[in-house]
Amino acid sequence: MVPLRLLQTRPHAWVAAALLALWLPQPATAQPYPNRPIKVVMAWSDGFPANSTRLFAKELSERLKQPVVVEIQQGAGGEVAARHVKNAAHDGYTLLATGTSVTTSWALRPGNVDPGVDLRPIAQLVATPYVIVSRAGAYADFDKFLESARNSRKKLNYASPGVGSGMHFLGEMIKTSAGIDMVHIPYASGARQLQALLAGDVDIAIISLVTALPQIKIGKLDALAVSTAARSPELPAVPTLTEKKLRGVPAISSWIALFGPAGLPADILDALSSQITAAAGNDDVRKLVASWGAEVPDTRRTSLEHVVQTEKALWSKVAKEKNIVDPN
| pLDDT tens-place string over residues 194-213 | 999 999 999 999 999 999 99
CA dist., res. 196 & res. 200, Å (int): 6
Sheet holding 130-135, edge to edge: 182-186, 156-160, 204-208, 130-135, 221-226
- Residue 106 pLDDT > 80: yes
- Tell me, what's the pLDDT at 30? 60
**Residue 172, pLDDT score:** 97
Asked whether the predicted pLDDT for residue 224 surpasses 80, the reply is yes
CA distance 158 to 156: 7
Its pTM stands at 0.87
Any idea what DSSP says for residue 152?
A: -
Across the range 266-271, mean pLDDT stands at 94
% pLDDT > 90, the chain: 84
Say what the pLDDT of residue 15 is: 43
Q: What is the pLDDT of residue 6?
A: 43
Q: Give every CB contact of residue 260 below 8 A, 6+ residues apart in sequence.
A: 85, 90, 92, 94, 95, 96, 119, 120, 122, 268, 269, 272
CB 254 within 8 Å of CB 99: yes
Torsion of the alpha carbons at 251, 254, 259 and 261, rounded to the nearest 10? 90
Predicted confidence (pLDDT) per residue in 6-18, tens digit: 444 444 544 444 4
Query: What confidence score (pLDDT) does residue 8 get?
Result: 46
Q: Round to whole Å and give the CA distance between 69 and 48.
A: 18
> How many whole angstroms separate alpha carbon 228 and alpha carbon 253?
6
Q: What digits encode the pLDDT tens for the residues 23-70? A: 555 444 467 899 999 999 999 999 999 999 999 999 999 999 999 999
In the predicted model, is pLDDT for residue 281 greater than 50? Answer: yes
> How far, in Å, CA of 254 to CA of 196, rounded?
21
Query: Measured between alpha carbons, how far is residue 126 from residues 20, 98, 117, 258, 318 in Å?
Result: 57, 11, 22, 10, 25
Amino acid 151 reads N
Question: Which of 292, 295, 287, 297 minimizes the C-alpha distance to 47?
Answer: 292
